[in-house]
Structure 1
């Protein structure tokens, strides 16, 4: 049968006995019982049939065999200590990295910025794309955290709700529909709309609700950037489809709600279930406000 390999606990016991000069002092330093130290040393000596520690009363000293090994034993233990310190730095977030994907920068960037102010030593890589594309990257392990839009958290992921909001039309304040707000699906038909790309969670909810209502929206353009959409709305090209939570005063638009309860989206922050135990991911989730 294959014998067990030398363990770090055995090497620590052996080195401590050699350095402190007694089993009791070694036990006190390592925070274990004296019999435990004795058993560790005896196990090594028995396995290799070599006397490593010489006893004289209550004191001990390394034999010639152990003296020749001590430099390498101490090098191994020192390397192990270095590894533990490096790993501990990740646990305490004094190092490490976090890969984040987001579909709506107005909701994601303030949360990312807040996390960075709390943990400046964690390197952040952030990218913007549609919800469906983010879900693919999460499944492939290419990002650690995703800000996604949908009705619920996918079964294979863990996470928490960030905000629930209406899906509305975004219009200039002086647009006729803005004056009529709220509106019906009949008001939407025929109006040129600028939407997110097909993989967008907002787009999927809007198009799905329109189909159920028997409405046929007139989408003239699909864009991935809300900034581009807002710019085209201001220029009079058409009205936008957006989450109400992403529209701000500086966009030059106002939200125009549609009379349809299905036009509700929730923005979630999610990760793979196994990643939920990673220190940086846990810390990020703790910085998020309660969903509203």
Structure 2
């Protein structure tokens, strides 16, 4: 009878590629380093394929492993969840949980509540533009992602958690600060400080301007709200951001642009196979309780 892939092999493989080391994987799994090597090598030999790239100083995954890494992580998580349920340990007394997010004002209330509810879980949260976050969600690098998009990608499981306006950010003493919604004609001559081109905020804003047939003057593309805030405060230019990003910001005002296309939707998403694991389902429950549309 042809032997099949074992859970121990998958656990060893996932640990090695996540930690970049056979030694660290062995320490995490509580076995010897040769045991981990044998588990991974036997898997590669059985299927006559390469799953790990050992050519560099740090071990990394091959394209083949990347294509199935999310499924492997989901399978391991489901196995752990079944074990927890069978032993009546449903309250997440241990484990790790990786979160990717694109906008910290949207994500942090959910993350903070999860950490308070499950203090024994080792939580890692990483900020990325949605365009850069999604590939890591698909490969299993993140358990869940909080992304900004027009629609939820069809091959992910998730829900909309918030909707927000995109507009201008100016100092409170700026001429536009108290004028209410401004027109694209008023936006055109401004020196804009935007997000990087891969950012959903930038893409939505630029697309709306193109529809309005307005040529924008973007002088900088930055990776974070903090950088935009600093340069707006010092008078370098006018920022482009979500309305939530300006809340409770001393000295700054959010100015909406009169355009219905400047609306961003925020989604909580995960791989379908991860949706009913304990950590992910509890994070969704927290987001459901806190969301506001």
| TM-score over 0.5 for the pair | yes
Matches within 5 A, 1:207-222: 207-222=206-221
Separation in structure 2 between the aligned mates of residue 149 and residue 198 of structure 1, nearest angstrom: 14
Separation in structure 2 between the aligned mates of residue 158 and residue 172 of structure 1, nearest angstrom: 40
1:161-205 Cα offsets, whole Å, 9 max, x none, are 121111110111111122322111111112111111111111111
1:105-142 Cα offsets, whole Å, 9 max, x none, are 11112210111000111110111110101111111211
* C-alpha spacing 1:205/1:279, structure 2 compared with 1 (3 Å): same
Match of 1:201 in 2: 200
Aligned length: 212
SS at match of 2:105: helix
Match of 2:131 in 1: 132
Match of 1:110 in 2: 109
Shift of 1:290: 3.4
1:205-245 Cα offsets, whole Å, 9 max, x none, are 11111111111111111111111111110000011111112
Match of 1:144 in 2: 143
Instruction: Tell whether 2:243 aligns with 1:274.
Output: no
Match of 2:223 in 1: 224
Q: Which moved more, 1:162-171 or 1:87-96?
A: 87-96
User: In the alignment, is the contact (CA less than 8 A) between 1:89 and 1:95 conserved in 2?
Assistant: no
Separation in structure 1 between the aligned mates of residue 98 and residue 153 of structure 2, nearest angstrom: 19
Separation in structure 1 between the aligned mates of residue 130 and residue 192 of structure 2, nearest angstrom: 20
Match of 2:236 in 1: 237
Bigger Rg, structure 1 or 2: 1
Matches within 5 A, 1:1-292: 84=83, 88=87, 91-288=90-287, 289-292=290-293
Shift of 1:84: 4.3
* C-alpha spacing 1:121/1:89, structure 2 compared with 1 (3 Å): farther
Separation in structure 2 between the aligned mates of residue 176 and residue 88 of structure 1, nearest angstrom: 64
SS at match of 1:203: helix
Q: Which runs of 4+ in 1 moved over 2 A?
A: 83-92, 249-252
Separation in structure 1 between the aligned mates of residue 265 and residue 286 of structure 2, nearest angstrom: 19
1:59-109 Cα offsets, whole Å, 9 max, x none, are xxxxxxxxxxxxxxxxxxxxxxxx946974774311111100111111112
* TM-score, length-scaled by structure 1: 0.68
* TM-score, length-scaled by structure 2: 0.68
Separation in structure 1 between the aligned mates of residue 98 and residue 178 of structure 2, nearest angstrom: 43
Separation in structure 2 between the aligned mates of residue 88 and residue 231 of structure 1, nearest angstrom: 51
For structure 1, which runs of at least 5 residues remain unmatched after alignment? 3-82
* C-alpha spacing 1:211/1:134, structure 2 compared with 1 (3 Å): same
Separation in structure 2 between the aligned mates of residue 170 and residue 247 of structure 1, nearest angstrom: 7
